Amino acid sequence: MFKVYLSDIKYNQVIKDKSNKENYYDVYTFLRVEGKKIVGKEYQDKWVRKDSEFQNSLPEMIEGSFYNVEIGFNGKISKILPYETEQDFINKYSNNSTITESNS
């Protein structure tokens, strides 16, 4: 998983298929992040077809937010998950959120 920054969203971009039928896509532009800094100027776009299974599996996509992405064997983004800070992760998956003391 890679931490990324969603820098731009373009809604309802049209691409015509071989039969000249219009298909609508949302385009998400991601920048790579290390720590809290955007690294380099390289970006990766993810074209997501409207009403597709992938579109339905996306978290709420908010421009200017951080996400975790998984890259498939083809080098393209295969999964997008909301970014959780380390503390959020600990709070979410901790079995015991209270501190207990014992005297031995």
Query: How far is the CA of 20 from the CAs of 4, 12, 23, in angstroms?
Result: 34, 17, 9
The model scores a pTM over 0.85: no
Close Cβ partners of 31 (under 8 Å, ≥ 6 residues apart): 4, 5, 7, 38, 39, 40, 42, 43
Supply the pLDDT for residue 69. Answer: 92
pLDDT tens digit sequence for 15-31: 999 999 999 999 999 99
Domains and CATH numbers, the chain: 2-93 (2.40.50)
Spatial distance between the Cα atoms of 1 and 69, rounded to a whole number of angstroms: 5
Spatial distance between the Cα atoms of 5 and 35, rounded to a whole number of angstroms: 11
Residue 12 has pLDDT above 90, yes or no: yes
Supply the pLDDT for residue 93. Answer: 53
Supply the pLDDT for residue 30. Answer: 95
Residue 99 has pLDDT above 80, yes or no: no
Asked whether 88 and 99 are in contact (CB, 8 A), the reply is no
pLDDT tens digit sequence for 38-94: 888 888 899 999 889 999 999 999 999 999 999 988 888 999 999 876 656 555 555
Burial class for 69, CB neighbours closer than 10 Å (0-12, 13-18, 19+): buried
Supply the pLDDT for residue 67. Answer: 92
Supply the pLDDT for residue 47. Answer: 92
